[in-house]
C-alpha cells in the first residue's frame, strides 16, 4: 500500500518557500519517557521540521560526550527498544513531521532486520540513519526498508573521497547527511571554511536533498549552513538543554523549545 512520503513532502515544501528545513536531534527517552515526549512536542511546536531521534545505545561510537551522556540517561531510566517505538507512536497522535532514527546496526540486526523495519514502519518512522553501516554492507536493510517504504539515509564526510560519493548516493534515499566536521558530534564555535564547495561537489552527483550537521549551535551558523544546504541539523545544542535542566526536568521542554525557536530564527535571517 502506497503511503505518504513525509520526507519528500517536507523538502518539496521547503523548496517552494525557498527555505532550508530545520532538523532537530534529541535522544529518545532522555531523561525519561514522559519528559522526552513533551520535549518532542515542544520541538515541533517551536519550529522543528524533522525529528531525528537517537536510539539509546551503550556504545555510540559516532557520538561526542553530550550525546553519550544522553543515551546513558535514557538507558538508566529504563528505556528499551519498545519504548522508542512507543515514543514515535505517541508523537504520531499529534504530528505528521518526518521522524528518522539515528541508530547503530547492532540494535537493528539483533532484533531481526525485517522485523525491526516492520515495527519501525508501523510505529510511524520515516527513515533510518544507521551510523556504522556502510552502503556496501547495507543490502539486507535496504531490501527490508524498500518493502516497508522506509528511507535509508547515509553520511558523507569531509574525508569521503569524491570517487566514493556516487556509490553512497546510489544507495541512499530520503536525503543525504553531510557531516560538516571530522570527528564525533558536539558543538563547535566555527564552521568549515570550504562547506559551500563540498556541498557543490556532492550535488554534482545527486538530486537528493542534502542536510548538514555536526557542530551547529547558533542562529548565525544555521543561517550560514542554510545558504548552502537543504536542511540544517542541530543536536548537541539541544541535548545540552536537557543536561542543564535535570534539577527541574519538567521545565526542560519549555527551555528546549525556546532554544530551537532561537536557532530557527537563523533560517529567515
Nearest CA among 127, 115, 163 for reference residue 11 = 127
Catalytic residue (one of 30, 52, 90, 259): 52
Beta bridge partners of residue 19, listed in sequence order: none
State the sign of the Cα–Cα–Cα–Cα dihedral 78, 84, 87, 89.
negative
Sign of CA dihedral 122, 125, 26, 169: positive
Is 63 among the residues known to form the active site? yes
CA-CA distance, 131 to 104, in Å (whole number)? Answer: 5
Yes or no: say if 129 and 156 are a contact pair by the CB < 8 Å rule. Answer: no
Enter the C-alpha cell of residue 28.
529518545
β partners of residue 176: 154, 210
Is 190 a residue of the active site? no
For residue 156, the cross-strand partners are 178
As given in the structure block, the three cell numbers for residue 187 are 558543538
Rg of the chain over Cα atoms, rounded to whole angstroms, equals 17
| Active-site choice (30, 49, 63, 90) | 63
Indicate which residues carry an active-site annotation: 52, 63
Amino acid at each position: 500500500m502506497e503511503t505518504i512520503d513525509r520526507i519528500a513532502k517536507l523538502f518539496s515544501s521547503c523548496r517552494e518557500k525557498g527555505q532550508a528545513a530545520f532538523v532537530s536531534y534529541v535522544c529518545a527517552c532522555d531523561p525519561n519517557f514522559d519528559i522526552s515526549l513533551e520535549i518532542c512536542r515542544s520541538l515541533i511546536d517551536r519550529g522543528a521540521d524533522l525529528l531525528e531521534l537517537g536510539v539509546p545505545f551503550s556504545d555510540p561510537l559516532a557520538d561526542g560526550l553530550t550525546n553519550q551522556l544522553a543515551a546513558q540517561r535514557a538507558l538508566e531510566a529504563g528505556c528499551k527498544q519498545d519504548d522508542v517505538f512507543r515514543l514515535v507512536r505517541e508523537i504520531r497522535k499529534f504530528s505528521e513531521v518526518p521522524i528518522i532514527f539515528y541508530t547503530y546496526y547492532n540494535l537493528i540486526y539483533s532484533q531481526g532486520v525485517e522485523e525491526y523495519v516492520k515495527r519501525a514502519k508501523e510505529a510511524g518512522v520515516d527513515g533510518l540513519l544507521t551510523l556504522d553501516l556502510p552502503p556496501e554492507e547495507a543490502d539486507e536493510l535496504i531490501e527490508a526498508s524498500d518493502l516497508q517504504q522506509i528511507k535509508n539515509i547515509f553520511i558523507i564526510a569531509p574525508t569521503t573521497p569524491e570517487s566514493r560519493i556516487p556509490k553512497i548516493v546510489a544507495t541512499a534515499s530520503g536525503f543525504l547527511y553531510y557531516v560538516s566536521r571530522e570527528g564525533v558530534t558536539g558543538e563547535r564555535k566555527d564552521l568549515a571554511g570550504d562547506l559551500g564547495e563540498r556541498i557543490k561537489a556532492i550535488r554534482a552527483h545527486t538530486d537528493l536533498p542534502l542536510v548538514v550537521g555536526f557542530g551547529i549551535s547558533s542562529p548565525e551558523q544555521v543561517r550560514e549552513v542554510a545558504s548552502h544546504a537543504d536542511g540544517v541539523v542541530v543536536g548537541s545544542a539541544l541535548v545540552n538543554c536537557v543536561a542543564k535542566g535535570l534539577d527541574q526536568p519538567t521545565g526542560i521542554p519549555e527551555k528546549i523549545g525556546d532554544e530551537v525557536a532561537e536557532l530557527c530564527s537563523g533560517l529567515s535571517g
